[in-house]
Amino acid sequence: MLETTTPSIPVGIEVIDCRWFEPATLDLFLASGPNPYTETEEFLFDCEMRADELPRFVRRALLEFQIRSNTEGILLLRGLPIDPELEAIATPPHAERSQDKTSHVSERCLAMIGSRLGHLVSYIQEKNGDLFQNLAPVKGAEQVQTSSSSQVRLQFHRETVFHPYPPEFLLLYCLRPDHDRLAETTYASISHALPMLSVQHRELLFQPLYRTGIDDSFQVNRQERTQGDRILPILFGNPQDPFFNYDEDLMAGLTPAASEALEALKEAINLVYRGIKLDTGDLLCIDNRRTVHGRSSFTPRYDGRDRWLQRSFVVRDLGLSAGDRFPGERIIRTAL
Protein backbone atom coordinates (compact mmCIF):
# COMPACT_ATOMS: atom_id res chain seq x y z
CA MET A 1 0.00 0.00 0.00
CA LEU A 2 1.34 3.44 -0.93
CA GLU A 3 0.65 6.07 1.70
CA THR A 4 0.97 9.86 1.74
CA THR A 5 0.53 10.31 5.50
CA THR A 6 1.60 8.14 8.42
CA PRO A 7 1.56 8.92 12.16
CA SER A 8 4.80 10.64 13.28
CA ILE A 9 5.74 11.42 9.67
CA PRO A 10 5.44 14.99 8.34
CA VAL A 11 2.37 15.46 6.15
CA GLY A 12 3.29 15.48 2.47
CA ILE A 13 6.06 12.88 2.60
CA GLU A 14 5.46 10.01 0.22
CA VAL A 15 5.69 6.72 2.12
CA ILE A 16 5.93 3.15 0.88
CA ASP A 17 4.62 0.95 3.68
CA CYS A 18 6.64 -2.28 3.61
CA ARG A 19 5.31 -3.70 6.88
CA TRP A 20 2.75 -5.93 5.16
CA PHE A 21 4.96 -7.54 2.52
CA GLU A 22 4.06 -11.11 1.57
CA PRO A 23 6.49 -13.84 2.70
CA ALA A 24 7.83 -14.24 -0.85
CA THR A 25 8.68 -10.54 -0.96
CA LEU A 26 10.34 -10.65 2.45
CA ASP A 27 12.48 -13.55 1.25
CA LEU A 28 13.91 -11.32 -1.49
CA PHE A 29 15.61 -9.33 1.28
CA LEU A 30 16.25 -12.10 3.79
CA ALA A 31 17.54 -14.97 1.65
CA SER A 32 21.32 -15.28 1.69
CA GLY A 33 23.44 -14.47 -1.33
CA PRO A 34 26.85 -13.11 -2.35
CA ASN A 35 28.86 -11.17 0.23
CA PRO A 36 28.59 -7.40 -0.39
CA TYR A 37 32.17 -6.75 0.75
CA THR A 38 34.09 -9.62 -0.84
CA GLU A 39 31.86 -10.31 -3.87
CA THR A 40 30.68 -6.76 -4.48
CA GLU A 41 29.70 -6.90 -8.15
CA GLU A 42 27.97 -10.26 -7.82
CA PHE A 43 26.11 -8.93 -4.79
CA LEU A 44 24.93 -5.85 -6.71
CA PHE A 45 23.84 -7.89 -9.73
CA ASP A 46 21.99 -10.32 -7.49
CA CYS A 47 20.21 -7.44 -5.71
CA GLU A 48 19.19 -5.86 -9.00
CA MET A 49 17.67 -9.14 -10.15
CA ARG A 50 15.82 -9.49 -6.85
CA ALA A 51 14.51 -5.94 -7.16
CA ASP A 52 12.84 -6.93 -10.44
CA GLU A 53 10.56 -9.15 -8.34
CA LEU A 54 9.43 -6.46 -5.90
CA PRO A 55 5.70 -5.65 -5.91
CA ARG A 56 4.61 -3.47 -8.81
CA PHE A 57 3.53 -0.57 -6.56
CA VAL A 58 7.03 -0.41 -5.03
CA ARG A 59 8.75 -0.42 -8.42
CA ARG A 60 6.32 2.19 -9.73
CA ALA A 61 6.90 4.53 -6.77
CA LEU A 62 10.68 4.25 -7.12
CA LEU A 63 10.51 4.81 -10.88
CA GLU A 64 8.39 7.93 -10.42
CA PHE A 65 10.80 9.24 -7.80
CA GLN A 66 13.76 8.61 -10.09
CA ILE A 67 12.14 10.39 -13.04
CA ARG A 68 9.97 13.08 -11.45
CA SER A 69 11.10 13.31 -7.83
CA ASN A 70 8.46 15.19 -5.79
CA THR A 71 8.07 18.54 -4.06
CA GLU A 72 9.75 17.26 -0.87
CA GLY A 73 12.61 15.52 -2.67
CA ILE A 74 12.03 12.69 -0.19
CA LEU A 75 10.72 9.13 -0.42
CA LEU A 76 10.45 6.96 2.69
CA LEU A 77 10.24 3.17 2.76
CA ARG A 78 8.90 2.27 6.18
CA GLY A 79 9.28 -1.11 7.88
CA LEU A 80 11.73 -2.92 5.61
CA PRO A 81 13.13 -6.25 6.86
CA ILE A 82 15.99 -6.09 9.36
CA ASP A 83 18.93 -8.36 10.04
CA PRO A 84 17.74 -11.21 12.31
CA GLU A 85 20.94 -10.90 14.36
CA LEU A 86 20.66 -7.13 14.79
CA GLU A 87 19.55 -7.08 18.43
CA ALA A 88 22.70 -8.91 19.49
CA ILE A 89 25.08 -6.63 17.56
CA ALA A 90 26.61 -3.46 18.99
CA THR A 91 26.60 -0.17 17.14
CA PRO A 92 30.12 0.15 15.64
CA PRO A 93 32.00 2.50 18.01
CA HIS A 94 34.11 4.05 15.27
CA ALA A 95 31.45 3.93 12.53
CA GLU A 96 33.57 1.39 10.70
CA ARG A 97 32.42 -1.82 9.07
CA SER A 98 30.86 -4.13 11.67
CA GLN A 99 32.65 -7.44 11.85
CA ASP A 100 29.77 -8.96 13.84
CA LYS A 101 27.05 -8.34 11.27
CA THR A 102 27.00 -11.27 8.87
CA SER A 103 23.48 -11.51 7.41
CA HIS A 104 23.72 -8.36 5.22
CA VAL A 105 19.99 -7.67 5.12
CA SER A 106 20.39 -3.91 5.47
CA GLU A 107 22.99 -3.88 2.69
CA ARG A 108 20.56 -5.84 0.52
CA CYS A 109 17.79 -3.32 1.25
CA LEU A 110 20.07 -0.46 0.20
CA ALA A 111 21.29 -2.22 -2.94
CA MET A 112 17.87 -3.41 -4.07
CA ILE A 113 16.18 -0.04 -3.60
CA GLY A 114 19.20 1.80 -4.98
CA SER A 115 19.16 -0.32 -8.14
CA ARG A 116 15.72 1.10 -9.03
CA LEU A 117 17.10 4.64 -8.83
CA GLY A 118 20.46 4.12 -10.55
CA HIS A 119 23.80 2.60 -9.59
CA LEU A 120 25.56 2.51 -6.23
CA VAL A 121 28.96 4.22 -6.05
CA SER A 122 31.36 5.30 -3.35
CA TYR A 123 34.28 7.72 -2.98
CA ILE A 124 37.81 6.61 -2.14
CA GLN A 125 38.23 9.38 0.47
CA GLU A 126 35.01 8.47 2.31
CA LYS A 127 35.14 5.50 4.72
CA ASN A 128 37.73 3.62 2.64
CA GLY A 129 35.45 3.55 -0.39
CA ASP A 130 32.83 1.26 1.18
CA LEU A 131 29.54 1.18 -0.75
CA PHE A 132 27.66 0.61 2.51
CA GLN A 133 28.81 3.07 5.15
CA ASN A 134 28.03 2.99 8.85
CA LEU A 135 26.98 6.29 10.41
CA ALA A 136 27.22 6.34 14.19
CA PRO A 137 28.38 8.77 16.87
CA VAL A 138 32.12 8.64 17.48
CA LYS A 139 33.57 9.58 20.85
CA GLY A 140 35.68 12.71 20.51
CA ALA A 141 33.91 13.85 17.34
CA GLU A 142 30.78 15.22 19.01
CA GLN A 143 31.21 18.78 17.67
CA VAL A 144 32.55 18.27 14.13
CA GLN A 145 30.57 18.83 10.94
CA THR A 146 30.57 15.20 9.78
CA SER A 147 28.27 12.21 10.19
CA SER A 148 30.34 11.11 13.22
CA SER A 149 29.11 14.07 15.29
CA SER A 150 26.21 14.04 17.72
CA GLN A 151 26.03 16.98 20.11
CA VAL A 152 25.90 19.60 17.36
CA ARG A 153 23.44 20.25 14.58
CA LEU A 154 24.70 18.84 11.29
CA GLN A 155 24.28 21.77 8.94
CA PHE A 156 22.29 21.63 5.71
CA HIS A 157 24.18 20.39 2.69
CA ARG A 158 24.00 18.70 -0.64
CA GLU A 159 26.03 15.51 -0.34
CA THR A 160 29.57 16.03 -1.74
CA VAL A 161 28.62 19.36 -3.35
CA PHE A 162 32.34 19.98 -3.92
CA HIS A 163 32.81 16.81 -6.02
CA PRO A 164 32.62 16.73 -9.85
CA TYR A 165 30.53 13.52 -9.60
CA PRO A 166 28.10 13.99 -6.70
CA PRO A 167 25.39 11.38 -6.22
CA GLU A 168 21.91 12.09 -7.53
CA PHE A 169 20.37 10.14 -4.67
CA LEU A 170 21.34 9.51 -1.08
CA LEU A 171 19.99 6.48 0.80
CA LEU A 172 19.84 6.26 4.61
CA TYR A 173 18.78 2.99 6.26
CA CYS A 174 18.10 3.06 10.00
CA LEU A 175 19.30 0.03 11.91
CA ARG A 176 18.86 1.64 15.34
CA PRO A 177 17.45 5.02 16.49
CA ASP A 178 19.08 7.03 19.27
CA HIS A 179 18.23 6.11 22.87
CA ASP A 180 15.90 9.05 23.43
CA ARG A 181 14.43 8.93 19.91
CA LEU A 182 15.04 12.65 19.54
CA ALA A 183 17.45 12.71 16.58
CA GLU A 184 15.84 14.02 13.41
CA THR A 185 17.10 13.82 9.87
CA THR A 186 16.35 17.34 8.69
CA TYR A 187 15.75 18.34 5.08
CA ALA A 188 14.74 21.30 2.95
CA SER A 189 13.55 21.23 -0.65
CA ILE A 190 14.35 23.95 -3.17
CA SER A 191 10.71 23.65 -4.25
CA HIS A 192 9.70 25.19 -0.93
CA ALA A 193 12.61 27.64 -0.57
CA LEU A 194 12.54 29.10 -4.10
CA PRO A 195 9.27 31.08 -3.76
CA MET A 196 10.77 32.91 -0.77
CA LEU A 197 13.64 34.36 -2.84
CA SER A 198 13.48 37.63 -4.74
CA VAL A 199 13.97 37.71 -8.50
CA GLN A 200 17.31 39.47 -8.00
CA HIS A 201 18.56 36.85 -5.58
CA ARG A 202 17.47 34.03 -7.89
CA GLU A 203 19.39 35.59 -10.79
CA LEU A 204 22.54 35.85 -8.67
CA LEU A 205 22.21 32.27 -7.43
CA PHE A 206 22.14 31.03 -11.04
CA GLN A 207 25.55 32.56 -11.70
CA PRO A 208 28.93 30.88 -10.95
CA LEU A 209 29.70 33.20 -8.05
CA TYR A 210 30.18 30.67 -5.24
CA ARG A 211 33.21 28.81 -3.98
CA THR A 212 32.98 25.54 -2.09
CA GLY A 213 35.51 24.00 0.26
CA ILE A 214 36.06 20.28 0.84
CA ASP A 215 34.23 18.42 3.57
CA ASP A 216 36.21 17.34 6.65
CA SER A 217 35.51 13.66 5.97
CA PHE A 218 37.35 14.00 2.63
CA GLN A 219 40.39 15.64 4.24
CA VAL A 220 42.60 12.58 4.00
CA ASN A 221 45.97 13.11 5.69
CA ARG A 222 45.44 16.87 5.87
CA GLN A 223 45.71 18.98 8.97
CA GLU A 224 43.46 21.81 7.87
CA ARG A 225 40.44 22.22 5.63
CA THR A 226 41.50 23.44 2.19
CA GLN A 227 39.40 25.38 -0.25
CA GLY A 228 38.34 23.42 -3.29
CA ASP A 229 38.94 25.12 -6.62
CA ARG A 230 35.33 24.63 -7.67
CA ILE A 231 33.44 27.78 -8.50
CA LEU A 232 29.84 27.01 -9.27
CA PRO A 233 26.30 28.41 -9.25
CA ILE A 234 23.91 27.57 -6.44
CA LEU A 235 20.89 27.11 -8.71
CA PHE A 236 21.08 25.28 -12.05
CA GLY A 237 18.76 23.64 -14.54
CA ASN A 238 15.21 24.80 -15.24
CA PRO A 239 14.71 28.33 -13.83
CA GLN A 240 11.16 27.42 -12.78
CA ASP A 241 12.09 24.08 -11.25
CA PRO A 242 15.82 24.19 -10.52
CA PHE A 243 18.31 21.88 -8.93
CA PHE A 244 20.66 23.38 -6.37
CA ASN A 245 24.13 23.19 -4.91
CA TYR A 246 24.29 24.19 -1.27
CA ASP A 247 26.45 23.59 1.76
CA GLU A 248 25.81 25.79 4.77
CA ASP A 249 29.27 25.11 6.17
CA LEU A 250 31.46 25.09 3.07
CA MET A 251 30.13 27.63 0.57
CA ALA A 252 30.82 31.35 0.27
CA GLY A 253 29.90 34.06 -2.22
CA LEU A 254 32.63 35.70 -4.29
CA THR A 255 31.03 39.16 -4.24
CA PRO A 256 29.00 41.10 -1.67
CA ALA A 257 25.86 40.70 -3.79
CA ALA A 258 26.45 36.95 -4.14
CA SER A 259 26.97 36.63 -0.38
CA GLU A 260 23.70 38.50 0.21
CA ALA A 261 21.82 36.10 -2.09
CA LEU A 262 23.41 33.12 -0.34
CA GLU A 263 22.32 34.49 3.04
CA ALA A 264 18.77 34.94 1.70
CA LEU A 265 18.76 31.27 0.64
CA LYS A 266 20.01 30.24 4.08
CA GLU A 267 17.15 32.17 5.71
CA ALA A 268 14.63 30.56 3.36
CA ILE A 269 15.94 27.08 4.15
CA ASN A 270 15.72 27.78 7.87
CA LEU A 271 12.07 28.74 7.42
CA VAL A 272 10.96 25.76 5.32
CA TYR A 273 13.04 22.84 6.64
CA ARG A 274 11.38 19.85 8.23
CA GLY A 275 12.54 16.86 10.24
CA ILE A 276 11.81 13.15 10.34
CA LYS A 277 12.71 10.63 13.04
CA LEU A 278 13.85 7.38 11.49
CA ASP A 279 13.10 4.05 13.15
CA THR A 280 14.56 0.58 12.65
CA GLY A 281 13.75 -0.66 9.14
CA ASP A 282 13.17 2.81 7.66
CA LEU A 283 14.99 3.64 4.43
CA LEU A 284 15.01 7.31 3.45
CA CYS A 285 15.68 8.21 -0.19
CA ILE A 286 16.80 11.83 -0.71
CA ASP A 287 16.94 13.51 -4.11
CA ASN A 288 20.41 15.05 -3.75
CA ARG A 289 19.74 17.49 -6.59
CA ARG A 290 16.64 19.06 -5.10
CA THR A 291 16.85 18.62 -1.33
CA VAL A 292 19.55 19.38 1.20
CA HIS A 293 19.71 17.49 4.46
CA GLY A 294 21.20 17.65 7.93
CA ARG A 295 20.60 16.21 11.39
CA SER A 296 19.55 17.55 14.76
CA SER A 297 21.81 17.08 17.77
CA PHE A 298 21.41 14.16 20.17
CA THR A 299 23.19 12.68 23.18
CA PRO A 300 25.04 9.38 22.66
CA ARG A 301 25.86 7.00 25.50
CA TYR A 302 28.63 4.96 23.82
CA ASP A 303 27.13 1.79 25.25
CA GLY A 304 26.82 -0.22 22.03
CA ARG A 305 23.17 0.80 21.53
CA ASP A 306 23.64 4.25 19.98
CA ARG A 307 22.04 5.51 16.80
CA TRP A 308 23.18 3.52 13.76
CA LEU A 309 22.41 4.26 10.13
CA GLN A 310 23.87 2.87 6.93
CA ARG A 311 24.37 5.13 3.93
CA SER A 312 24.75 4.54 0.19
CA PHE A 313 25.20 6.88 -2.76
CA VAL A 314 23.44 6.44 -6.11
CA VAL A 315 24.24 7.92 -9.54
CA ARG A 316 22.05 7.62 -12.62
CA ASP A 317 24.97 7.34 -15.09
CA LEU A 318 28.07 5.30 -14.21
CA GLY A 319 29.73 6.42 -17.43
CA LEU A 320 30.29 9.97 -16.20
CA SER A 321 32.88 8.83 -13.65
CA ALA A 322 34.38 6.01 -15.74
CA GLY A 323 37.72 7.81 -16.11
CA ASP A 324 38.08 8.03 -12.33
CA ARG A 325 37.18 4.42 -11.55
CA PHE A 326 39.03 1.15 -12.08
CA PRO A 327 37.27 -1.17 -14.57
CA GLY A 328 34.56 -3.21 -12.91
CA GLU A 329 34.70 -1.13 -9.71
CA ARG A 330 32.23 1.33 -8.15
CA ILE A 331 34.78 3.43 -6.19
CA ILE A 332 35.24 6.94 -7.61
CA ARG A 333 38.90 7.91 -7.16
CA THR A 334 38.88 11.57 -8.22
CA ALA A 335 41.76 13.47 -6.59
CA LEU A 336 40.50 16.49 -4.66
In a domain, 199, yes or no: no
Residue 209: pLDDT above 80?
yes
In a domain, 107, yes or no: yes
In a domain, 212, yes or no: no
Residue 270: pLDDT above 50?
yes
105-162 pLDDT tens trace: 999 999 999 999 999 999 999 888 999 999 999 998 888 888 888 888 999 999 999 9
Residue 100: pLDDT above 90?
no
Residue 2: pLDDT above 50?
no
* Domains in the chain, number: 1
Phi-psi map region of 153: left, alpha, beta (phi>0 left; psi -120 to 50 alpha):
beta
In a domain, 167, yes or no: yes
In a domain, 215, yes or no: no
In a domain, 258, yes or no: no
In a domain, 42, yes or no: yes
Separation CA 217–CA 203 (nearest Å): 32
**Is residue 58 very low, low, confident or very high in pLDDT (cuts 50, 70, 90)?**
very high
6-56 pLDDT tens trace: 446 878 899 999 999 999 999 999 999 999 999 999 999 999 999 999 999
What CATH number should be reported for the domain holding residue 54? Answer: 3.60.130.10
Scored b (16 or more CB within 10 A) or e, 28-50 reads bbeeebbebeeebeebbebbbeb
Domain with 170, as residue range(s), is: 2-189+277-332
- pTM, 2 dp: 0.94
Residue 94: pLDDT above 90?
no
CA neighbor of 300 nearest in space, from 119, 94, 156: 94
224-254 pLDDT tens trace: 444 456 899 999 999 999 999 999 999 999 9
In a domain, 66, yes or no: yes
**Confidence at residue 220, expressed as pLDDT on a 0 to 100 scale:** 55
